[in-house]
Amino acid sequence: MADHKTIARYFLGEAFSTGHLAPAEEWVAPNWVNHDPSTPVLPAGPEGFKQLISAYRAAFPDLQMTVDELIVEGDKVVGRWTASGTNTGPLMTMPPTGKQATISGMSVLTFAGDQVTEQRTVWDTLGMLQQLGVIPTP
Dihedral of CA atoms 86, 125, 54, 110 in degrees, nearest 10, equals 140
User: For residue 45, is it left (φ>0), alpha (ψ between -120 and 50) or beta?
Assistant: left
pLDDT tens per residue across all 138 residues of the chain: 689 999 999 999 999 999 999 999 999 999 999 999 988 899 999 999 999 999 999 999 999 999 999 999 999 999 999 999 999 999 988 999 999 999 999 999 999 999 999 999 999 999 999 999 999 988
In a domain, 97, yes or no: yes
Residue 97 is part of a domain; what is its CATH number?
3.10.450.50
Record the pTM: 0.94
For residue 53, tell me if it sits in a domain. Answer: yes
Checking DSSP bridges between strand 115-123 and strand 76-86, what pairing results, if any?
Answer: unpaired
Q: Total domain count for the chain?
A: 1
